[in-house]
Every structure is written in structure tokens, then in C-alpha cells.
Amino acid sequence: MWMEATAAAAGAAGFLAWAARGRSAQVFAPSAWRGMPGRNRIALTFDDGPSESTPELLEILAANRAKATFFVCGRNAARLPGVVRAIAAAGHEIGNHTWSHPRMDFMPTAKIREELCRTQETIATLTGKPPRLFRAPYGVRWFGLGDVQRELELTGVMWTVIGRDWTLPAPSVSRRLLRAAKDGAIFCLHDGRVLLENPNISATLDAVREILPQLHAKHLSVTSVSAILEK
């Protein structure tokens, strides 16, 4: 009997872990992890910003005629309002990545709502419109998030491949992304490092410089999440 109970508990724990972090899981909140195929498009996304190095990233994107979606932390946006406006002015999409980048597992719904609402309001004040996309920090979703997303009319977004650019050198980041460079893929990189001021994102910048020409050579358009989700 105890062995059956132990196995059942392990199975339940495994399911809960997948439901919270599985890229294709829809249990706690609906989310997209890839886009519509047949259009030769890839969505490039950046989390945790803005940072002091985001303007350099914007220059790289502009030089390569690429668009992206920036999932910004509200606290960083409030610290660097001019950078948020620059992202919007360059025609990129801005999404909600919570106010303070917490893990949401075991977080009360009221706190989840506060994190998302505060960021919605900050971005709307800076750019004139609230985000329509949301990405959970660490990819962790939890009870109550789906209700909050519906209240705020937010579409959840995961990723097809994550670059691990916060720990890997640029060549390794590039290889990870290029291996997954298929029509409809959503790439996840980071133009910030959680809430650090002036973080070192050189690996991210170098990887983006390397992959964009190669993606274009594959006849893949680099664009925003909304562009690859539209029907």
C-alpha cells in the first residue's frame, strides 16, 4: 500500500511540475510556445529588461531589419522609462514580465494580480497602451494566473527554445538557437538580468549579431510574437 501511495505522490508531483513549467502546458494559464507555420517567421523575444544595454540591442536589430518582443519587468521599466519609449518608438512589441520577477509557484492570486497590474499600468503610462502579452518569470505558472490573464486580456507566451544567455557564452547561445531555427519558433533571450542595474549582457548582444544574418540567409523573417500568432 505504501509503495502505491508513494508512486501516486511522485506522479502527482511530476504532473504539477509539468503543469507549472512545461512549455506546452495549459493547466494553470493558456500560453503559446510556437507560432503559426507556413510563413517563414521566427519570433525573437527578450526578457528581464530594459537595461542600460538595451539601446545597443535596438541598434543591432535595426541594422538587421529585425523586430522583436520585449517582456519587460515593471521595476526596470520605471527605472529606465526612456529605454521603454525607445523600444516602442522603434516598432517593437512590449509584453508584461511582472513587476519584480518573482517565481509565482505558491504565490497567492492577489499577489499575482498586483505584479501584473502594476506593470500593465507602468507600461501603459510610458507608451500609451497596455501590453497584450505576458511571460511568466522562469516560465512558472500557478493557480490563479489564468484568471488574472483573462481579467487583463493578456495572452501567455512561453518559448520554443531558450538561449540560456545568462550563463552560456555567445557561441553556445547561437548554436542552441540556430538548431531550433524553424518556421514558427519563439526564441527566448534576455536584455536584462532580473533586476540588476547595468548588467553584463554581452553574450546576448554577440549572439544576436551572429544569428540574425544566418536567419535571414535561411529566408526566415525575424519578428514579434503577435506577428507569428496571428491567423
Q: State yes or no: is 190 an active-site residue.
A: yes
SS3 per-residue string spanning the chain? CHHHHHHHHHHHHHHHHHHHHCCCCCCCCCEECECCCCCCEEEEEEECCCCCCHHHHHHHHHHCCCCCEEEECHHHHHHCHHHHHHHHHCCCEEEECCCCCCCCCCCCHHHHHHHHHHHHHHHHHHHCCCCCEECCHHHCCCCCHHHHHHHHCCEEECCCEECCCCCCCHHHHHHHHHHCCCCCEEEEEECCCCCCCCCCCHHHHHHHHHHHHHHHHCCCEEECHHHHHCC
Q: Which residue of the set 47, 48, 165, 191 is catalytic?
A: 47
Q: Which residue of the set 92, 101, 190, 191 is catalytic?
A: 190
Q: State yes or no: is 47 an active-site residue.
A: yes
Catalytic residues: 47, 190
